[in-house]
Amino acid sequence: MRQLEVVLLAVGSLLLGWCLAAYVDRAVSSRLEVQRFASHDQEMQQQNGTVSNLRQWSQQRLAAYARALTAHVALPLSVIRISRIGMQAPVLDGTGEWTLNRGVGHIEGTVAPGGAPGNIGIAGHRDGFFRALKDVVVGDTIELDLRNRVEFYRVTNMLVVDPSDVSVLEDHSLPTLTLVTCYPFYFVGNAPKRYIVQAVRTGSSGSIASSNELSAGVSPLARDFRFQSRQSQSRR
C-alpha cells in the first residue's frame, strides 16, 4: 500500500508540473505574439498583456495551442481586446484548425480588420480564446488594435443561431463586428449551435466618429439585423 501511495504521489506531481509548465508557456508565447504585432509599427505602443482566461480553457485546447506555437505564423491582422472580461487575442487570417488553435480567425468573405467599412467576422474556439464571450454583456467595449489605429466597438446584442444561419455575416448600414463561437460553451462533443456577439463601431483612436456611428445603439443595429427575431437571444 505504501508503494502505491508513493507511485500515485509521483504521478500526480508530474501531471501538476506538466500543467503548470503548459500554462506558463502559453502565457509567455501569447504575450510575445501580441508584442510582435505591436512592434511591427512604431506608432503602436508595446502591448504588455497576455492572452487572457487561460484558466477557462480545456486541456485539449491548451495542448493544441502549444503545438500551434511551434510553427511559423504571419503577422496578425490585428489584436482584439475586451478589457472588462480580460479577453485579448491575436486575429489571424482564416479559420483553419491550426489558426484557431493559435488565435482567433478572420472569417473569409467578410470585411478584413482595417479594411473598407462593413461587417468584420471573427471566429474563435469556445474552449479557448472565445470562452470569455460567455461573460460579455450589452454595452461592453471591444477594441480592435490595428497597426495604425485602434477601432472601438460597442456590444449591441448576443444571440444563438444554427450553424447554417450565415446571415449574421451579412454587411449592414453601419460598420459592425461579429464574433462567432460554438455553443453551448461547455457542451461535450460537437456543439450544435453558434453563439454570436454583435457590435457596432463607435469610433477610433486619432479620429472623430461620424454622427451615425456615435448615435448607434442597440435599437438601430437590432433593426438592421433582420434575422434577430427568428433566433433565441438567451444564453440558455
pLDDT of residue 115: 87
- Please state whether the peptide bond connecting residue 90 to the residue before it is cis, i.e. omega within 30 degrees of 0: no
- pLDDT bin (cut points 50, 70, 90) of residue 225 is very low
Backbone angles phi, psi at 218, to 5 degrees: -65, -45
Would the pLDDT of 2 be above 80? no
The answer for 116, left when phi > 0, alpha when psi is -120 to 50, beta otherwise, is beta
Model confidence over 144-159: pLDDT tens digits? 999 889 999 999 999 9
Mean per-residue pLDDT of the chain = 77
Most confident segment among 9-13, 74-78, 178-182: 178-182
CA 164 distance to own-chain centroid: 21
What domains can you pick out in the chain, each with its CATH number?
2-230 (2.40.260.10)
pLDDT for 63 = 80
pLDDT band at 62 (very low <50, low <70, confident <90, very high): confident
pLDDT of residue 19: 56
Of the two residues 68 and 60, the one the predictor is more confident about is 60
Highest mean pLDDT among 16-20, 41-45, 113-117: 113-117
Q: What amino acid occupies position 63?
A: A
Per residue in 82-127, pLDDT (tens digit) is 999 999 999 999 999 888 888 999 999 999 999 889 999 999 999 9
Instruction: Determine the average pLDDT of the residues in 181-189.
Output: 95
Look at 60 and 223; give whichever has higher pLDDT.
60
Instruction: Please tell me the predicted confidence (pLDDT) of residue 148.
Output: 87
As a whole number, mean pLDDT of residues 206-220 equals: 41
pTM: 0.67
> Is residue 233 scored above 70 in pLDDT?
no
Handedness of CA 124, 129, 131, 134 (dihedral sign): negative
When pLDDT is averaged across residues 127-132 and rounded to a whole number, the result is: 94
Per the document, the length of the chain is 236
The 3 state secondary structure assigned to the chain is CHHHHHHHHHHHHHHHHHHHHHHHHHHHHHHHHHHHHHHCCCCCCCCCCCCCCHHHCCHHHHHHHHHHCCCCCCCCCEEEEEHHHCEEEEEEECCCHHHHHHCEEECCCCCCCCCCCCEEEEECCCCCHHHHHHHCCCCCEEEEECCCCEEEEEEEEEEEECCCCHHHHCCCCCCEEEEEEEECCCCCCCCCEEEEEEEEEEEECCCCCCHHHHHCCHHHHHHHCHHHHHCECCCC
Dump pLDDT digits (tens) for 135-144. Answer: 999 999 999 9
